[in-house]
Amino acid sequence: MEVFPDDPAAILDRLIALADTGAADLILTTGGTGIGPRDSTPEATTQACHKLLPGIAELMREEGRKKTPRAVLSRAVAGVRGRTIIVNLPGSPRGAVESFDAIADLLPHALQVLGGARHD
């Protein structure tokens, strides 16, 4: 686990390095997904990813809304860089756990596909 400043360039560099060195199959970020001026994790993640997974973001917002209406405002994204999946979670510990729970069941299959299995 690492802690980073709200600096999109630093976040982007770190995401790319973690993915491209094969150091991580799954990168979970927390925080920086709101609408404030310093919230830029989704932008860095979008830039880092070769492919976005909009359904993951939709599902996290949809499940989050069952707990708090403000989950609608989350700009969290998820995507793929090479064989690495990157998922943004919100900054509050409870919100991060809830978002992760919403998508956890999908990750084994997704990681397996990226690991080499064929998938249409």
Return the residue of 8, 29, 32, 87 that touches its own copies, per CB under 8 A.
32
CB of 110 to its own copies, least distance (A): 6
d(CA 33, CA 36): 9
| C-alpha–C-alpha distance, residues 96 and 3, integer Å | 15
- By CB under 8 A, is residue 73 in contact with its own copies? yes
Given candidates 58, 67, 101, 104, which one binds its own copies under the rule CB under 8 A?
A: 58
Using the rule CB under 8 A, is 12 a contact of its own copies? no
Return all residues near 46 (Cβ < 8 A) that are at least 6 apart: 52, 77, 79
Q: Judged by CB under 8 A, which stretch of 12-20, 21-29, 32-40 contacts its own copies?
A: 32-40
Q: Is residue 24 close enough to count as binding its own copies by CB under 8 A?
A: no
Cβ contact 86:29 at 8 Å? yes
CB of 48 to its own copies, least distance (A): 15
**What kind and span of H or E run contains 109?**
helix 107-114
